Amino acid sequence: MMKLFQNKTITYIHTVVMSIMLISVLSFITYVIYEEYNEFDREASLLREFYIKKQKKTVSFDTNRVLNFIKHKYENRDLSIDEETLKRTIIETIENLYGREDGTGYIFIYDFSGVKISDPIWPYDVGKNLYDLTDVNGVQVIKELITVAKTNDDNFVEYTWRKPGSAYDSLKVSHAKAFKPWKWMIGTGIYLDEVEKFIDEDQETLQKRLSKHIMEILSLSIILFGISLIGIIVINRIISRELNVFSKFFQKASKSYVLINDNEIYLQRFKEMVTYINSMVEEIHNRKDKLEEMNLLLEKKVEQKTEDLNHLLEKQDSFIKHSIHEINTPLAVIITHLDIFKMKFGDNRYLSKIEAGTKMIANIYDDLSYMVKRDRFVYEKETIDFSEFLESRISFFEEIALGNKHTIVSKMDHNMICYFNKIELQRIIDNNLSNAIKYAKKGTEIMVEVSKESNQTKLQFKTYSTKIEDTKRIFEAFHQEEDLKGGFGLGLEIVGSICSKHDVKIEVQSNEEFTVFSYLFIKGENNENIIA
């Protein structure tokens, strides 16, 4: 929950809280209204059921009262009056006494065969047999009423029938009783739309009550929400004022030594914080003074150490430079005298091994010399006869290759011109030839090939050697695939740095049979790196 308000302002938090409160209030009001309407529907349903039961009870009461009247007249009849006259007298009495002002509530009489005997509202079909009469819903009205009368139960028949004073049929519920001596079915009923009138009146009362309750709940919710809103606004302003005091203090404290005036804080909880904050500021100030003192001492010590280290580095640099220079002089003397000896006495197997070793030392010297100078020296580019330069470097390594039982085979066009720095180009070629001689299998050829591909030239060194497991790490300083082969692991690091410097692309392909190092010299805007 706390993460929800992380990095948020108090205004944002209060806005969220107010929104949640508003949504909660609206949800509560909606729920109450929903429940009230459900209650209203339930009450209306119960009201409808109550009225229908009440009206059915009235219908049943009227039917039984008429039946009892007929029984009384029949049992106490004057025997001098014939039966037909008695029937007419009873029927006339019933038709005149029963019924309502709107024509409903009348008593109808049929015999058990379905012949209409009495109907004060529609007398025109008296004497007609209506036993098979059906309403619009297929209910056999007279037949079912006769069945109810004969069974003498409390069942009712629901059907549609003409309503007095209306041109349309209405839904009606009727009950019937049997007067068996004359085989009469006596019945009456209630039109359900009359019930709906009573229900509508009561529903209107319920509706008013519901509206009143809703307005009361709504008003109360608005009042409570308003009070809550005012309370939150007041609290927000108080807290914001207190926080502004803290904010201004921290801004000043970041630049100078100041304390919070607790008289500016009103909330007790914040007053407690003032004590801790002022103590913290005093402690920080004291530690700051101590740190500044320690920092001054450390700076002096660091300056002294730095000066000592720079002096040592200068000595080391001087030692390396002089050592390299001292190595170069005897190397030059050895190589010169080897050439003179060969000119006077010819080639010698032992002499060739000495010459090969000397040249390897010379190659290592050139690498060390380049490493020492590369960060302090600008290697200017120049136009080089690439074919002649490559042949000279191959010639330099031929004795070394022969001493290791290899032959170097070259394939290139003559008169190829290169715009590159000669020392850096020599480091690329020499280190690749040196590694090729070192790692190629005994008695195999070392192939050097130069080929043109659109706007780039590919320099390629191919050897039959063991597979290189990690073709990317071999260009890292001091990395060696085989420790037994000797060396410092610096040659390919130098090659990699030169190629990266001049945007020369390197590709290494190695498998169990052979290894190929390819260098792609791409023609630039000013014809740099070009081999043509």
The helix/strand/coil state of 258 is coil
Residues contacting residue 495 through CB under 8 Å, at least 6 positions apart: 427, 428, 431, 432, 475, 506
Mean pLDDT of the region 62-69? 89
Specify the pLDDT at position 484. Answer: 47
Which helix (H) or strand (E) segment holds residue 506: the answer is strand 505-510
Which span out of 52-61, 213-222, 267-276, 507-516 was modeled with the highest average pLDDT?
507-516
Residue 121 in this model has a pLDDT that exceeds 80: yes
Which span out of 275-284, 364-373, 425-434 was modeled with the highest average pLDDT?
425-434
Residue 45 in this model has a pLDDT that exceeds 80: no
Mean pLDDT of the region 316-338? 62
β-strands 116-118, 157-162 pairing: unpaired
Specify the pLDDT at position 293. Answer: 84
Specify the pLDDT at position 331. Answer: 59
Instruction: Please give the CATH superfamily to which domain 13-199 belongs.
Output: PAS domain (3.30.450.20)
pLDDT band at 128 (very low <50, low <70, confident <90, very high): very high
Strands (E), 98-243: 108-111, 116-118, 157-162, 169-179, 184-191
Residue 269 in this model has a pLDDT that exceeds 80: no
pLDDT in tens, 434-490: 888 888 888 899 999 888 777 778 889 999 988 888 887 888 876 666 654 545 567
Residues contacting residue 87 through CB under 8 Å, at least 6 positions apart: 182
pLDDT in tens, 375-412: 777 888 888 888 888 888 888 888 788 888 888 998 88
Lowest mean per-residue pLDDT among 82-91, 159-168, 233-242, 326-335: 326-335
Position with higher pLDDT, 109 vs 481: 109
What rounded mean pLDDT belongs to the chain?
A: 78
Report residue 121 CA to chain centroid gap: 77
Which span out of 42-46, 217-221, 303-307 was modeled with the highest average pLDDT?
303-307
Residue 240 in this model has a pLDDT that exceeds 50: yes
Specify the pLDDT at position 457. Answer: 82
Mean pLDDT of the region 299-314? 79
Specify the pLDDT at position 333. Answer: 63
Is 531:418 a contact under the CB 8 Å cutoff? yes
Lowest mean per-residue pLDDT among 214-228, 244-258, 478-492: 478-492
Residue 499 in this model has a pLDDT that exceeds 80: yes
> 452's torsion region: left (phi>0), alpha (psi -120 to 50) or beta?
beta
Domain ranges of the chain: 13-199, 382-522
Classify residue 441 by its DSSP letter. Answer: P
Specify the pLDDT at position 353. Answer: 60
Residue 12 in this model has a pLDDT that exceeds 60: yes
Mean pLDDT of the region 287-314? 81
CA distance 469 to 475: 13
**Is the domain 382-522 a CATH 3.40.50.2000 member?**
no
The helix/strand/coil state of 256 is coil
Structure tokens at 348: 């010698």
Strands (E), 108-226: 108-111, 116-118, 157-162, 169-179, 184-191
Residue 14 in this model has a pLDDT that exceeds 70: no
Closest CA to 391 of 373, 410, 372: 410
> The tokens 């039961």 sit on which residue?
53
Specify the pLDDT at position 515. Answer: 92
Mean pLDDT of the region 104-128? 88
CA dihedral of residues 81, 83, 88, 92 (deg, nearest 10) = 70
